[in-house]
Amino acid sequence: MNKPVLEFNKVIFHYKNSEAPILDGIDLQIYENEFISIIGPSGSGKSTIFRLITGLEVPFKGSILLNGENVTNRLGAVGYMPQQDLLMPWRTVLDNAILPLEIKGIKKEIAQAKVRELLDDFGLQGQENALPGNLSGGMRQRVSFLRTILSGSNILLLDEPFSALDAITRLTMQEWLIEQWMKRKKTILFITHDVDEALFLSDRIFVLQQKPHTFIQEVKIPLGRPRTIRDVSKSEMVTLKEKLIDQLRSKVSK
Ligand SMILES: Nc1ncnc2c1ncn2[C@@H]1O[C@H](COP(=O)(O)OP(=O)(O)OP(=O)(O)O)[C@@H](O)[C@H]1O
């Protein structure tokens, strides 16, 4: 960990059609190769933070720096993977995956060759001509992640990517994601409602409190890497989990 790749400096934000502030002077630093999860009750502002990072929304005051620069159009500068995979049902795996390269104007054959190199790593070997409707949920999310990686950005925003998967597939996908993250040296911001998932994956967890947020509470995960799912059952992790659940529950009941 060294230089911040993403910084919020005193960011104040409310939606145009509402006076109610969501962020009220937030400072954040996210470092190279970090894995950060964001948890918080529904409506607490997790997706709003992603919308600000991508530039879909603009701070009322303050600045957001990406790789040290105050770029106004950040949409193409970060990789964004939405909750729904948004794969085009009429396009094959290969042709869905090449989309970010096509948008950049790269020739179809060159883009396809680049995707083919990655199919093995993404567990999609032999599936390149399959249509999304014939893939399992886990495979669809791997195609979607492959597309996000091909954005070429060092910062990836993943919005609850595994929430629709069954428990076993979800665990396999979490382990696979960590492998890919370590191999590709990306910085990941990951929204989840699942405390276990956040504990297993993250270096730090941002816990969203009551709106408006004047600061964001963060929890450092006391586990090294590589880690296994069993590490999350260690007594210190169980205590941390209970603390996080209590905090989230108290916010919901307020
Ligand atoms: N386009 C919008 N215009 C006005 N208010 C909005 C808009 N989008 C979201 N909000 C409000 O901003 C607040 C934060 O919403 P946001 O979607 O960021 O929450 P979230 O934590 O991602 O919720 P969830 O977990 O349900 O996805 C909510 O009160 C929501 O109603």
Range list of H helices, 60-166: 93-97, 99-103, 108-118, 137-149
Domain residues for 239? Answer: 1-78+155-162+185-254
Residue 26 falls within a domain, yes or no?
yes
What does the pLDDT look like over 201-247, one tens digit per residue? 999 999 998 899 999 999 999 999 999 999 999 999 999 999 999 98
Residue 39 falls within a domain, yes or no?
yes
Nearest CA owner, ligand 1 atom 28: 43
ipTM over 0.90: yes
**Ligand 1 within 6 A of CB of 17:** yes
Q: Pairing mode, if any, of strands 187-191 and 155-159?
A: parallel
**What phi and psi, each to the nearest 5 degrees, are found at residue 136?**
-75, 165
48 C-alpha vs ligand 1 centroid, how far in Å? 6
pLDDT of residue 253: 52
Domain count for the chain? 1
Residue 62 falls within a domain, yes or no?
yes
Read off the CATH number of the domain in which 225 is found. Answer: 3.40.50.300
Nearest CA owner, ligand 1 atom 2: 15
Q: Which two tokens stand for residue 205?
A: 């967890």
Burial group, residue 196, by CB count within 10 angstroms (0-12, 13-18, 19+): middle
Residue 90 falls within a domain, yes or no?
no
CA neighbours within 13 Å on the CB side: how many for 203?
15
45 C-alpha vs ligand 1 centroid, how far in Å? 6
What does the pLDDT look like over 142-169, one tens digit per residue? 999 999 999 889 999 999 999 988 999 9
Residue 53 falls within a domain, yes or no?
yes
Ligand 1 pocket mutation pick from 22, 157, 158 by most atoms within 8 angstroms of CB: 22
Residue 16 falls within a domain, yes or no?
yes
> Which residues does 1 contact at the CB level (< 8 Å), separation at least 6?
31, 32, 33, 34
Ligand 1 atom nearest to 40, measured from its CA: 21
Residue 216 falls within a domain, yes or no?
yes
**Ligand 1 within 6 A of CB of 20:** no
Q: Among positive and negative, which fits the CA dihedral 199, 200, 203, 206?
A: negative
Residue 171 falls within a domain, yes or no?
no
Tens digit of each residue's pLDDT, the chain (254 residues)? 578 999 999 999 999 998 889 999 999 999 999 999 999 999 999 999 999 999 889 999 999 999 888 877 777 789 999 888 889 999 999 999 999 999 889 999 999 999 999 999 999 999 999 999 999 999 999 999 999 999 889 999 999 999 988 999 999 999 999 999 999 999 999 999 999 999 999 999 999 988 999 999 999 999 999 999 999 999 999 999 999 999 888 755 54
